[in-house]
Amino acid sequence: MKHFTAYSVEDGRNTKSDTWDISLKDLSEYYFAPLKACIKKADVGALMCSYNAINKTAACADKWMNVEVVRDHWGWDGGIESDGGAISGIQDHGNAKTQAGAAQAAVEATCDMECDSAYKNHLSKLEGDGRVSRAQLEAAVGRVFKGQFQLGRFDPHSPLPGYDELHSDQVYSAAHQRLALHGPQQTIVLRPNRPASAEERRVGPHDGSRR
């Protein structure tokens, strides 16, 4: 599931300007709602923390969002992975002075996997210096391996094909393409092409449009 959260731009990523001040009300009622549904209803196994900062805290370093909200309040125990370079990008948002500090902040926010080089470069020394605990690393590894087991990567004798045995002809099968089309089709809502009635109001700059 991606991106967590309040992330909807493709320009200016990992810059200090890519930070949004969002109220708790807007976060809980708007930005969190679809992602919470993915976790509570669809039971997703992993999420990706985004590049941006929310209320001046980088998403991959945000303990309040990733731990208090997602893990504690929503009761989710899946794996969190960074977007590409997003752990190193914690520095750009001012939440760490070095890549090592960014790696420490991400571990503390339970970001279990990186698409980056921060963990590769610094986790061993951070653990040796006592800045990251063995328990934190083992918890992260446990969440990662849980997902691997759920994918069947360690169970080649399963009656279902393991993750590594799936090929494009299965993933991109005609049945799967039909299902991928069917879902969006069910969300389409067609409104009548007529002036708004007292019970039906259109607002905004195009409220008088007939199209």
* Rounded alpha-carbon distances, angstroms, from residue 171 to 81, 91, 102, 133, 183: 23, 38, 36, 39, 16
- Secondary structure in 3-state letters for 101-129: HHHHHHHHCCCCECCCCHHHHHHHHHHHC
C-beta of residue 109 within 8 angstroms of C-beta of residue 62: yes
* C-alpha to C-alpha distance for 87 and 62, rounded to whole angstroms: 11
Active-site annotation holder among 18, 62, 83, 112: 83
Task: Please tell me whether the peptide bond between 167 and the residue prior to it is cis, using omega within 30 degrees of 0.
Answer: no
DSSP 81: E
Known active-site residue 83: yes
DSSP 164: G
Q: Which of 69, 49, 68 is nearest to 59 (CA)?
A: 49
Residues 6+ apart with CB under 8 A from 27: 5, 6, 54
Catalytic residues: 83
